[in-house]
Amino acid sequence: MKSLKTLNPAQKEAVEYNSGPHIIVAGAGSGKTKVLTQKIAYLIEDGFDASSILALTFTNKAANEMKERIIELIGAAKAKQIWMGTFHSIFAKILRAESDKLNYRPNFSIYDKEDSVSVVSNLLEELNFSIDEHTYSAIHHKISNLKNRMILPEDFAKNYAETVYDQKVAEIYVEYNKRLFENNSMDFDDLLLKPIELFNKYPKILQKYRGQFKYILVDEFQDTNKAQYEVLKFLVYGRTKVCVVGDDAQSIYGWRGADISNMLDFEKDFPKTKIFRLEQNYRSTKMILEAAGSVIKNNKSQITKTLWTENDNGEQLTLVRCSDEKDEAFQVSKQIKREISTKKLSLNDIAIFYRINSQSRALEEALRREKIPYKIIGGVEFYKRKEVKDVIAYLRVFINQNDEESLLRIMNFPQRGIGNTSISKMIAFSRKLNLTLFQTMARIFEVIEVKERIQKNVKQFKLLLDKYIELKDDLSLPELASALIDELGILKIYKEENTPESLQRYENIQELLAGINDFFKQNPKTTIEEFLGEVSLMTGVDQYEESNNSVTLMTVHSSKGLEFPVVFLTGCEEDIFPLNPKFDTDARTEEERRLFYVGLTRAKQKIYITYARSRYRFGEVAYQSRSRFIDELDKKTYTELNGNVGRKSGRRKKAFYDEMYQEDYDDFNQEHRSLRVGSRVKHEIFGNGKILAINGAGDMQKVSVAFESAGVKHLLTKFASLKII
């Protein structure tokens, strides 16, 4: 291949190797995507049938980028034959083809996190569990983690549920899976668990796909969880070739089940594995790489490598000390203006990263005040917006009438006088007679507890759904969506409300119609199922558009896979970055360090690192100490800037220069001396945990506790009844 001439020696060796299992350790900015695409093209030229190649990625954005590059190398005809996509999209495709074996119908719905949390919420109501609504998400997160670790409900109840809270989760877990099945629906985790169930139950189907895939390549292998790795091991058999690509130094998703040991132990599972290291960085300056390397070397669990670059030495990093979050936001805005004016950069060249979403508020306020355009990636994603999800829910019901969550969502949208009380009575009727909610609507006049007026409204709603269920096979997707939105009258409703929020909803519905049209143009024979399958697996990063000329705001997690000339890494303080260090295990602290490393290595030319000495958190001013990761930076790689010099801000200057400032505020303003930050405690419902912070005094004293099962909770000490253990 002529194109192999563009590869460096290490890249070329990795592309051409084809003698057994191999792992490509691809350092940040080392041309990983280029190597993957070149390898796939090389395999096809070397005689591999394109349809026998399975290439798995983690985001649609990465998959689409790879497809475009491969089309340039080998043409569209062959490129389309490759099984290429995210883990979830590829296995959703397999599950739809084999759905009957698991007693599902191929039109099953795929529930995102919000849908799944809604299922948990509805179950808690039906089971009469008195748990506050903030716990819905925590319970779903727990269930999701269990699924990622391949711990099924029965196993969890028998071997893991020790606390009262865990016992409740076990009960909900059983009912949750049952409800998904009744709804002919799967959540994201099922898309990985169900193939394992399928392959275990049906060896012939396993053989079918083993025969299909002769070469399997996995991108971002460091982010695979146990279920993903098990599926991979199922498919790699006999003469099947496997190549995994990743960087252990960028493994940052342990909190959602990713297991770095998959990469560290790959050689044990696949004997005679050959390791290739891509260590030449094409993205960053020497200074940035030296700074990043000085931090990540402190991790004990890693595959050794040394990044180097032929790029310029570049500027030192700038460390900005700020008095509080408002001062931090001001300093970021100030430096953005300086970068643009002195280096003639565009706004699109600049990104602001933060560890937790709540940090964005002060930053957004400052950017708006300074009239600096910005966009947020990974905030409320377009397909997660209420009005968009409402329309999507209609489409889901058209193809899957068992989808109770979607049906409940649209039962009274737009308002048609069917209230929660009536819906509860309909659900009770359906449970009693073992009917779906959709079937109950057809028998609404038998639900005598529901008023006659509301019965008529339900009947009219059912007729509307029946009409479009029948039309869906006769109209194109854009025609169907346009007709539905027109008949519902929601654009008129939003326009007549004439509020900023309603007009934004109006624009979002118009944008949805445009998106459906674009999707149809690219896929003229598309079905509703295919469109919904694409939408359900979208992430915020998938919607990132580099063409928009505005500063980009995002969490450090969302920045993975992106790069910018200038990066601001904000909120670099203990208990924020790293998050909850006093409770973290060494493994979690190492993951936080890898996340910090990811933030640094997104930058091409310049990095600003900011931290505040005080920050408004949990309803009070908390005094902060700077991140340990800053102290790990090689001192010659950065210069310090006192951010608030010359600013008129009494409280901020006092907080910054206060000689009484305590680096360790464990005992700050505590009345209950027996409770200390770091104390191990037990709560009657939430189980065992560790105190992260104590604020306030007397009856208003609050304590933040990280519970092993229930996550972080903020409680009034007076009522928490915490026992020190």
Strands 109-111 and 185-187: parallel
Report the C-alpha gap between 607 and 317 in whole angstroms.
5
Peptide bond into 414 cis (omega under 30): yes
| Backbone φ, ψ for residue 620 (5° rounding) | -145, 165
Buried b (16+ CB within 10 A) or exposed e, 705-715: bbbebbbebeb
Give me the half-sphere count of Cα atoms (radius 13 Å) on the Cβ side of residue 170. 16
In whole angstroms, give the CA distance from residue 266 to residue 482: 50
The closest alpha carbon to 570, from 609, 526, 621, belongs to 609
CB 554 within 8 Å of CB 353: yes
CA–CA dist 256, 643 (Å, integer): 36
C-alpha–C-alpha distance, residues 698 and 395, integer Å: 54
3-class secondary-structure state, position 384: helix
Q: Is the peptide bond before 153 cis (omega within 30 degrees of 0)?
A: no
Please give the positions annotated as active site. 32-33, 219-220, 250, 602
- 692 neighbors 673 (Cβ within 8 angstroms): no
Give the three-class secondary structure for 565. strand
Indicate the SS3 state at residue 200.
helix
Structure tokens at 258: 């990713």
Q: Return the bridge partners of 713, or none.
A: 705
How far is 706 from 692, CA to CA, in rounded Å? 7
Side-by-side strand order, sheet with 687-695? 711-716, 702-707, 687-695, 680-683, 723-724
